[in-house]
Structure 1
Amino acid sequence: MIKVGGTFASALPAEVNLVHLLLDTTYENTKNLCLLVYSKAANSDPLRYSLTLEN
C-alpha cells in the first residue's frame, strides 16, 4: 500500500496514472522554472561582471 496524504490502495489504475502524470508534469515545470531563473540570473550584468573580474 502506498500512502501519500491518503491511500492509493482503493484508487483505480487510471487514477494512479493520472497522479503520476501530474507529479511528472509538476517536476518538469519546476525544473524548467529553476533553469529559467538560473539562466536569467547568470546573464545578469552584476553577476557577469563579478565572474569576469581578475583577481
Structure 2
Amino acid sequence: MVGNNLEVDIKGTSDKFTLTNWYLGNQYHVEQFKTSDGKVLLDSQVQALVQAMAAFSP
C-alpha cells in the first residue's frame, strides 16, 4: 500500500505496477488479475492477500 494506491510487485522479477486509488473504493478495483500462464487472482482474494502480507511488514 502506498497512500490510497495498491502497489503490486511480481515475485521473482523487478516488475511492479500500481493500481491508483485502490483503497478509495470498489470502483477502482479490477475484477481479476490473470497471468500469461492462466493463473487468476480475484479481487476478493487480493484483499485477503494484502491482509496476510501485512503481518510480515516491519
Q: Could you state the TM-score of these two structures normalised by the residue count of structure 1?
A: 0.32
- Choose between structure 1 and 2 for higher RCO, CA contacts under 8 A separated by at least 6 residues: 2
Greater strand share, 1 or 2?
2
Greater helix share, 1 or 2?
1
Q: Could you state the TM-score of these two structures normalised by the residue count of structure 2?
A: 0.31
